[in-house]
Amino acid sequence: MLAEKYPEEVKKIFAKYPPEQRRSAVMPLLYLAQRDQGYVTKAALEDIAQILDITTTDVAGIVGFYTLYHDRQAGKYRMQVCTDLPCALRGADKFLEDLCGNLGVKVGETTSDGIITIEEVMCLAGCDKAPMFQLQSGEGIEYHENMTLDKTMELVAALRKSGKEVK
Amino acid sequence: MAHLLLRHRDIPDIGRLEVYQKNGGFEAFKKAITRMKPQEVTEVVKASGLRGRGGAGFPTGVKWSFVPNNIWPHYVVANADESEPGTFKDREIMESNPLQFLEGVAIAAYATGANAAYVYLRGEFWTVAAILDEKIADMENAGFLGDKLFGTDYSLRIYTHLGAGAYICGEETALLESIEGKRGQPRIRPPFPAVYGLYGKPTVVNNVETLTNLPLIVEKGADWYKSLGTADSAGVKIFSLSGHVNKPGNYELPFGTTYRELIYKYGGGVTGNRPVKSIMSAGASSTMIVADDKALDTPMDYTSVRGLGADLGSASIIIINDTVSLEWVISKTIHFFTHESCGKCTPCREGTYWMLHLIERIQRGEDIKANTELLHSVAMQMQNKCLCPLGEFSTMAVTTAIERFPADFKPSHSRGQHG
């Protein structure tokens, strides 16, 4: 239960919005739920609905609409590669293909050790620094830009070793 | 000329409060609060000719003047959702010159009578939000945000709100829905946000770059600002340059700089030394400009770009050289808009889906002539039929690629990306 487990964070979230507009807290609460479990569990949907006094369906509707909320477990890190037009003009499609080949996965799949899930995403506002991707985990999101396959495989090796993100 | 918006390129530590202050930071906000009435600030901004930098180009001061004085409270919302493919200017401002942006938010809030402002960042800007939260705390500690600022009765708080991955939330009414904790789907307008905005209250929504101009305008005056740029496009603009250029990036330049100058003088020329085939002037929402001499020598300002059958928009310029077939380009833009359509309006939801199927048929070589005609027809039928511009945006590149680059849709044409 988020309110009991993270009382300080929940208080901070509600302080941002007028007291009568509790529903505004749904997005930050969902991020908090993802930090807690890695994805939004069914229990978290019900918990957030109860905190905000809205229906579980309302909360699920938010999860379904926005791409950064996930309703199922994936790898510890989601490696989200942009292949939109400006990135593709700088070789992003080939980069993604090579990356998948090297990791032995298809887009949407997770490496057998459960560390990396490869995803293809829409524009991330890093068009001048392609190929690029973001690494999403429960802890947040970090950009990796001007990437090569070698640099990316080094990052993957480091993530596998420590289970932690390195700069 | 020294940068006015990307000031960190001249003063590397401008993101630190004491450095920003040493370089004149917060003087404009102080001047506004202690020596000007809110209405006077609005008048200066109106007189400066500043137009919205998010894409629509609507005069900022005029937008503010629509806020009624008989409904309270008022809100200011900074649109930091920056999601248009090819646009990456607001991110650089917020990462490296965040205090000038936040001072701009504060000035807009004072001018429109708001005591609370929200910065709505796309969810991917997680680290940017952390920077802004830190800077907001610094401003509170230094007395630039909080209660009774500069000894007056004016109070202001700024909050960040992270979205979670939805291009549509850059549309201002969808953005407001999102802050309210709902799915980011556009509202029917009118009423416009100036009257019925966040929580149903009068709200001004301005783009990050627009707001970052405000401290300069208040400090140096409307005449100074107007003296930069061209007659209909006052001031400077950040041009985000991407695609087939050797030096992609943000370039802060006066309005009226030509595409040729941007590509060759600043952008280091075209990848592979190839000719420019097409220019997209406003990200994925652009029409496809035929890059002939006339286009390359066109000054980048609101009126001149329109003369090319295009829009300046947010000035996200994607350069495409002759190694690429335009049927591949529009397959990319269609894919983007199909993914990002929010699903509210039928022509956009169904139209983008069908455009995707048709371009896939064309790419597979299936009855190219008939499917190209059908694709053009579907795109035309989507125009002017949706609540927000997304539906229309999705068709811009499609119709103009087919009309202006017919050779790329001939059955004998070699398709795809060859570069």
CATH code, B93: 3.40.50.11540
* CATH (domain of A54): 1.10.10.1590
For residue B417, what pLDDT is reported? 65
Q: Kindly state whether residues A45 and A98 are assigned to the same domain.
A: no
For residue B55, what pLDDT is reported? 86
Tokens 């990396």 — which residue? A116
Asked whether residue A167 is assigned to any structural domain, the reply reads no
Q: Kindly state whether residues A158 and A82 are assigned to the same domain.
A: yes
Q: Kindly state whether residues B130 and B17 are assigned to the same domain.
A: yes
Q: Kindly state whether residues B143 and B280 are assigned to the same domain.
A: no
Asked whether residue B300 is assigned to any structural domain, the reply reads yes
Q: Kindly state whether residues A82 and A158 are assigned to the same domain.
A: yes
Q: Kindly state whether residues A56 and A104 are assigned to the same domain.
A: no
B336/A125 touch (CB, cutoff 8 Å), yes or no: no
In this predicted structure, the answer to whether residue A166 has a pLDDT above a threshold of 60 is no
Tokens 């280091």 — which residue? B268
**Which residue range is the domain that position B270 belongs to?**
236-321
Q: Kindly state whether residues A58 and A95 are assigned to the same domain.
A: no
Asked whether residue A70 is assigned to any structural domain, the reply reads no
Asked whether residue A71 is assigned to any structural domain, the reply reads no
Q: Is residue A68 within 8 angstroms of chain B, CB to CB?
A: yes
* CATH (domain of B352): 1.20.1440.230
**Which residue range is the domain that position A100 belongs to?**
77-162
How high is the mean pLDDT of chain A?
95
Q: Kindly state whether residues A55 and A90 are assigned to the same domain.
A: no
Closest CA to B232 of B309, B177, B152, B312: B312
B161/A142 touch (CB, cutoff 8 Å), yes or no: no
Q: Is residue A12 within 8 angstroms of chain B, CB to CB?
A: no
Asked whether residue B419 is assigned to any structural domain, the reply reads no
Domain count, chain B: 3
Beta pairing, strands B157-162 & B316-321? unpaired
Which of A25, A45, A65 is the C-terminal boundary of a domain? A65
Sheet holding A133-137, edge to edge: A116-121, A77-82, A133-137, A140-144
Q: Kindly state whether residues B217 and B289 are assigned to the same domain.
A: no
Closest CA to B30 of B219, B266, B311: B219
Which of A25, A44, A65 is the C-terminal boundary of a domain? A65
A159, two tokens:
């993530």
Q: Kindly state whether residues A91 and A38 are assigned to the same domain.
A: no
pLDDT tens per residue, range A74-127: 999 999 999 999 999 999 999 999 999 999 999 999 999 999 999 999 999 999
Q: Kindly state whether residues A57 and A87 are assigned to the same domain.
A: no
Give contacts of B401 with chain A, Cβ < 8 Å.
none
Q: From residue A9, how far is each of A28, B52, B187, B252, B383 by CA, in Å?
A: 10, 35, 31, 39, 45
Of B91, B166, B178, the CB nearest to A67: B166
Q: Kindly state whether residues A49 and A116 are assigned to the same domain.
A: no
Of A84, A90, A125, the CB nearest to B332: A84
Neighbours of B261 (CB within 10 A): 17
Neighbours of B411 (CB within 10 A): 11
B315, two tokens:
């000035």
Of B83, B181, B249, the CB nearest to A123: B83
* Structural element, H or E, at residue B77: strand B74-80
* CATH (domain of A158): 3.40.30.10
* CATH (domain of B283): 3.10.20.600
DSSP bridge partners of B114: B74
| End-to-end alpha carbon distance in chain A | 32
Q: From residue B49, how far is each of A13, A19, B386 by CA, in Å?
A: 38, 38, 30
In this predicted structure, the answer to whether residue A165 has a pLDDT above a threshold of 80 is no
A122/B83 touch (CB, cutoff 8 Å), yes or no: yes
Q: Kindly state whether residues B313 and B287 are assigned to the same domain.
A: yes
Q: From residue B222, how far is each of B106, B145, B204, B336 by CA, in Å?
A: 18, 25, 21, 39
Domain count, chain A: 2
Q: Kindly state whether residues A47 and A96 are assigned to the same domain.
A: no
B147, two tokens:
């209660």
Q: Kindly state whether residues B215 and B273 are assigned to the same domain.
A: no
For residue B275, what pLDDT is reported? 97
- Check if the beta carbon of residue B75 is closer than 8 Å to that of residue B273: no
Asked whether residue B64 is assigned to any structural domain, the reply reads yes
For residue A116, what pLDDT is reported? 96
Asked whether residue B418 is assigned to any structural domain, the reply reads no
For residue B108, what pLDDT is reported? 98
Asked whether residue B104 is assigned to any structural domain, the reply reads yes
Of A68, A140, A142, the CB nearest to B165: A68
- Report the pLDDT averaged over residues A141-148: 97
Q: Kindly state whether residues A87 and A133 are assigned to the same domain.
A: yes
> Distance (Å) from the C-alpha of residue B389 to the closest C-alpha of chain A?
18
For residue B390, what pLDDT is reported? 94
Asked whether residue A12 is assigned to any structural domain, the reply reads yes
Asked whether residue B382 is assigned to any structural domain, the reply reads yes
Q: Along chain B (419 residues), what's the average pLDDT of each consecutive run of 10 residues?
A: 95 97 97 97 97 93 97 98 97 98 98 98 97 98 97 97 96 97 96 97 98 98 93 93 98 96 97 97 97 97 95 96 96 97 96 97 95 98 93 96 96 67
Q: CA A44 to CA A2: how far, in whole Å?
A: 8
For residue A144, what pLDDT is reported? 98
Q: Kindly state whether residues B87 and B208 are assigned to the same domain.
A: yes
- Report the pLDDT averaged over residues A61-71: 97
Which of B305, B321, B337 is the C-terminal boundary of a domain? B321
Q: CA B231 to CA B341: how far, in whole Å?
A: 36
Q: Kindly state whether residues A17 and A53 are assigned to the same domain.
A: yes
Sheet holding B236-243, edge to edge: B249-254, B236-243, B316-321, B276-280, B289-290
The answer, yes or no, to whether the previous bond of A28 is cis (omega within 30 of 0) is: no
